[in-house]
Each structure stands twice: as C-alpha cells, then as structure tokens.
Chain A
Amino acid sequence: MVNLKINNTPIQVEEGTTILDAAKRLNFRIPTLCNHPDLSVAGNCRVCVVEVKGARLLAASCATPVSEGMEVNTNSEKVRIARKHVLELLLSEHNADCTKCFKNGHCELQELASEYRYGDHIFIDLVKSGDKVLDISSPSITKDASKCIRCQRCVRTCTELQAVSALAVVHKGDHQTISTFLGKPLNDVVCTNCGQCINRCPTGALYERNYIEDVWHAIYDPNKFVVVETAPATRVALGEDLGIETGQRVTGKMVSALRKMGFNKVLDTDFTADLTILEEGTELLTRLKKALVDKDETVKLPMMTSCSPGWVKFQEHIFPELLDNLSTCKSPQQMFGALAKTYYADKINIKAENMVVVSIMPCTAKKFECNRSEMRDSGFKDVDYVLTTRELAMMIKQAGIEFDKLEDESYDNILGESTGAAVIFGTTGGVMEAALRTAYEIITGSEVPFTNLNIKPVRGMEGVKEASIKIKNTKPEWSFLEGVELNVAVAHGLANAKQLMETVSSGKSNYHFIEVMGCPGGCIGGGGQPIPTSAEIRKRRADAIYAEDMGKTIRKSHENPEVVEVYKEYLTQPLGHKSHELLHTHYKVRKRY
C-alpha cells in the first residue's frame, strides 16, 4: 500500500494505482479525453495534468502511478492555466461546428469546453488552414478528420479490442492524422464496421452514418407500410440515452414509443432469433451427423455462428479459409427482413414493394449487412434502413415523446413473439446458450442439465469461454451422439475471436460449435449502443438481459408458438426448401490487406 495526499486529503491505495484513479476514490474528478477504461494508457491529450509537489513538470495523472508521500494538487493555479491552454490548443485545431455536429450534446470535448467557459481565443485558429477529409464512403461509419483531436482512442480500440487496426496514427507533428492505409476510404479497407471506435471517440470525429431522415420520410409517406424490428440488446440500453438508469429494461416503453412515432407494425428481431436457433441448431446437428456418421470430410467443424455482421466480415477478410465453418444462417435481422417481405406481407395483404423494413440495432455493422447484395432474397432489399439504439433515442426525442412516462405496450403479432432464449442473443454466450437449450432437447427429448436452463459456463465476460456437455439418453435417431462430449467455445470482441481462430486454424482445437460476437460483451456492448461504455456498464446491461430471459414464460426457441406456426404455414421444416431460399446465405473472400 502507498500513502499519499491529494488536495491535502490523505489516502492509502495499492501500489501501481494512477493518480487519476486515486483521486477518483476521493471524489476528485480530473478531466480526461484520451483515457478510456477499456484501453491502454496513452497520456497524449494532457488535459488530466496535475501538480505533484517537488516535481519540475506537471504530471499526466492517467499515466503517473502514485508513490509514497506524494502530495498532489488537482486544481492549483498552475494546473488550471495549463489545462486551459491544453483545451484551447485542442480547440484551435478542432472544427467546433457544434450545433451542426451529430455528436452535439454527446461530446466530451464540448462538455469540457462548457465546464471551463472560454471566451477568448488565445491561440491562432488552425481549423480553416487544414485540408481535413470527411469520409462518407462507409454505409456504417462516418469519419470527420476536422473534428479529430488525435487522442488515438479509436486506434487503440481497433488494435487492442478488435485486432483489426484499420486506423493508425500517420505522419508526425502538425501533419499527424488518424488514417486508414494510405488514407483510403473506410469502405475500401479492412474494416469490420463494428463501430467500437465510435463508442470511444470523445468528439464527433467518428459517428454512425445515420438514416434518421430517411426513416421519417418513409413513416410520413402514406403509400408506405413501415414495419420496425428491434434487436434484443436495444431494450436494455435505450433508456440510457433517454434519462433512465443503466441496466433498466425498457422493452414495453420502446414498443410504445415506436408505435407513437408512427410505425405501422412494431415487431421483434427476437422472433427471428428464435427462428435462427431452429435453423442453426438443425444445421449443427446435420453437420455432426454428416461428420460423425457419414464420415463426410467436406463437412466443416467446428461450426461457427453468423449473427454478428462485424464478425462475419472479419472472417471474410482475415480467415477466409474458415468461411465454410460459418453457419449459412442469415442473422436474425436479415431473416426478419426476408420473411417480412414475403410470408408476412402476404399474410397482412400488403405488397412487398410498398413495405419498408426498419431495424433498430445496437450495431453499426448491421447497416453494412442490410446493404449486402446477398440480402435481397425477398426480391427487394430485405431490410431497408438500420438505425442504432442512439439514433432511435434521437428520434424519440424529436417526436416529443416523454419516454419515461410511457406505459408498457406489447409487440404486434405475428413476428412479435419471442422466448427468453432469443433475448439472450444480446449478450456474449447467449446464442450458444439458446442453441444448446434447443439442440440438447432435440437430441435427447429432455432439457439441458443445468439448473433453471441457465448454462452458466458460457456466461460472463471472460474473453474466451469453453464448455463441454456430455450427451446422454439420446433419442434413437440421434444415437450416434450417445456419450459424445459436445465441446463449445464462446468469444466476444474480435481480438479474442482472432486468438480463438488461430487455434482452430492450426487444427489444435476439438470444438464442435463456436459462438463469436464481434463486440466486447456481445451486442449489449455493440457499436450502436449508447455512449459511454465500460466493463461495469456492459455488465449491468447483460444482467438486464438475463433478467428479461428469466421473466419470460417460454425460454426455449423451439417452443415459440409463432415459430411453430411459421413452419407449419410456410417454411415446412428447418433447412427446408423455403428456408434455404430465404433464411440462408453465403460468404465471400475479401482482401486481407
């Protein structure tokens, strides 16, 4: 333990603690910009400088560990002047176009500027002299270099959490920028569109390509029938952007708000999450049978989930040799779109060409996914627009809806019913758990051998999780699986996924089934979720997801009555002809560099 004084208040902390963290424990807030709890220390923005008694220079508190007898002042005159100058210098290079900025009201730099209330410009304004690039090439992410303060959070995110490194610090001194390879458009480089950089950008330099006006336009068009679907993870995070405490479930309020906004039908991606389990579970069992019984060597195991479009694009770029391991199932979003514009449109007697499908997602990669050329199996663009959780929150505010005062409402039917298994798709391990709940029961006729169906080994925030389930008392048709130990693995965040894929690629693994979600924590930590994010926030959202699961009467996908009905009326059976046509897809090899 180390004893020190911060602003004359004594405190004892563990060795290695930074001054910033020690001050936090005493409730002294030191401003930061480049610092982020998910990332390594950079110490480059300098707004967190403090005065350490006896030291010649001010110290960056995020990068300076405490030492015995240290006396720190976080608000001395010297500190205040330095901090003001640092902020002024940052602002002198920042395009402070705040009122027109997409991040207006959600910008850490703006917040700091408003705290310090500068009136005067003591440094020359350098904004106009730069030739800063606005990159709107990507359907998911917009990059505005004129807003960038080069804190490098995005670079560290893309490298440390996602192992993609689409962005790097290039050139030096006053020429330094955050850039892709040779400054190419984001859409032309190895970028998975995960949007994790957006979640950590303290300014408006990175934000989602937004489709808010397009969606309003569709809603106002009397000739359009606008259907909205909501992803599992949106309901446990949307409240954060609308003044509700982190970790509160707002499912019913969200449905109510969407209806008030004017969507014709409010439906649930959770429905197609259940459907995904039937398709993907059957696909897994079929692959196991082909591999174990028919000894078909063309069948690829382990099978890997395909719900996360960031992860899918990552595989297409980085591990093309493993593309046949990806489940051919479309993501729940795309299954929804394909079914909505065929089965559902027929059922409610609406022409598919007049239907607009909007999807509310915790994700920016979904915006890319809905634009993929494979995603037009209904004969139209299956999903027209994808909005992030953040965009939905903005639209709710624009509509003048007092969100916290809304009564809970239920989804429309059909394509609105879901089970607990579908809800947990929203967090890491959830797809695996949902698949196991169903697959085990198909094989054995009895429930998975875990208390309350809660498959604890695949839950939690560990980077790579493993579990084995011994299959016992199989039904006669699945007797080849009797006594088989089903080995599964779960990874979240692409850096963890990469590590797992390297083991698989080397042939050293013995997994049958792998779940990967592109973002840390799974969709609850998705690139389209409310900002900020941290391990604590992600945990509270995940807890809310599991609470939602426990609150559902039906918690196994194959028992979803609407799913049963859709198979009876339309799809006939999982992996059947119609399913292949509408619910499955293929992948393409993309350039590695």
Chain B
Amino acid sequence: MTNTEVLIQELVQKHGRNRNALMPVLQGVVACEKFLSESAMIAVARELDLSAADVYGTASFYTFLDTKPRGKNIVRVCKTISCHMQGKEEIIKAIENHLKVKVGETSHDNKFTLLTANCLGWCHKGPVMLINDEVFPSLTPDKAIAIIEEFSKKTN
C-alpha cells in the first residue's frame, strides 16, 4: 500500500464511508499532500464506493481541493478589486521575480506554488495574501518577499 492509500484509510476510519465523508476525506488528503493526485482520487473512490469521475467532480468544484501538483507552501494573492486597487499587481510581480515562477507555477525547489484567489475578505487591509492557512495583510512587495523568505527557511 502507498503512503497515500494508508492516509486515506486512516481518514476513512475517522470520517466513515458515507458519501458525506467525501469532503473531509479529500480535505485530509490535501492537508497532507497539498493536492489530489489521480491515484489519491481513485483510492478515495474505492474506499467510499464512488466512481472516480464523481470524486473528481467534487474535487474540481473547490478551489482549495487542488487536482494539480502543488509545492509545499501555497501562496494565494487576492486578485479581487479592492486588493487590485491597493497594488496586488506589484505584489504578484515581486513574488514572481523572487521565486522565478509565474502565477499557477511551482518553484523548482518545490517549496512554493504561486496562485491568485478571489476575495479573502480583507478588503480593509489589502493587498493581502494567504500562505497555506495564514493571512498576511497590508502587504508591500518587500514585506511579501520577507514573509516568503521566512517560510522558505522553515521548509525543508
């Protein structure tokens, strides 16, 4: 059994095999592996007696249930209008230059994936970004890079 399959079995032990266990199980996989691989979705389908297409349908609906490979840290810069007016474009450019990636890509050391997000609800303190589950408001390009660097040091 692969590590993913072991993880999924543990999650199923915890959440059960009903259809309504699908979301927590998928979230559990993403929490550990950052994204849902083809084999992970198949393993979930097998455990919950669903079709693989069905699992993919649910996974693809939610932005935070990624089905593409992601780095160890996921950076999401808010792209909605308030953050846009407060300079989100400069933040994105700075991070792109620093990590040598474009939005949607993962850094070569696999430490970061850079994405954008719809409104994070921090319009009063934009521009804002989310790294994994943590919010970083009132960004400047320098501040954003300093935060990224801190995460980089913490990540093996």
Q: Which residues of A are interface residues toward B (Cβ below 8 A)?
A: 159, 164-172, 179-182, 189-190, 592-593
Contacts and interface: CB of A to CB of B under 8 A. Distances in A.
Contacts of A166: 51, 53
Contacts of B51: 164-166, 168, 181, 190, 593
Contacts of B41: 181-182
A190 B52 contact: yes
A317 to B, nearest CB: 10
13 contacts: A159-B54, A165-B51, A170-B56, A170-B57, A170-B60, A170-B61, A171-B61, A172-B60, A179-B56, A181-B53, A182-B38, A189-B52, A190-B52
A168 B57 contact: yes
Contacts of A171: 60-61
Contacts, number: 50
Q: Main SS of chain B's interface residues?
A: helix
Contact of B46 (A182, A190, A592): A592
Nearest to B50: A165
A169 B53 CA distance: 8
A494 to B, nearest CB: 12
Given A171-B61, A172-B61, A181-B41, A165 B54 contact: yes
A169 B42 contact: no
Q: Which one of B38, B54, B67 has the greatest number of beta carbons of chain A within 10 Å?
A: B54
B130 interface: no
A195 B10 CA distance: 38
B92 to A, nearest CB: 21
Contacts of B42: 593
Nearest to A175: B60
Interface in B2-46: 38, 41-42, 45-46
Interface in B41-82: 41-42, 45-46, 50-57, 60-61, 67
Contacts of A190: 51-52
Given A592-B46, A593-B42, A593-B46, A179 B61 contact: no
A592 B51 CA distance: 9
A26 B130 CA distance: 57
Given A181-B41, A182-B38, A165 B53 contact: yes
Nearest to A168: B57
B53 A168 contact: yes
Contacts of A593: 42, 45-46, 51-52
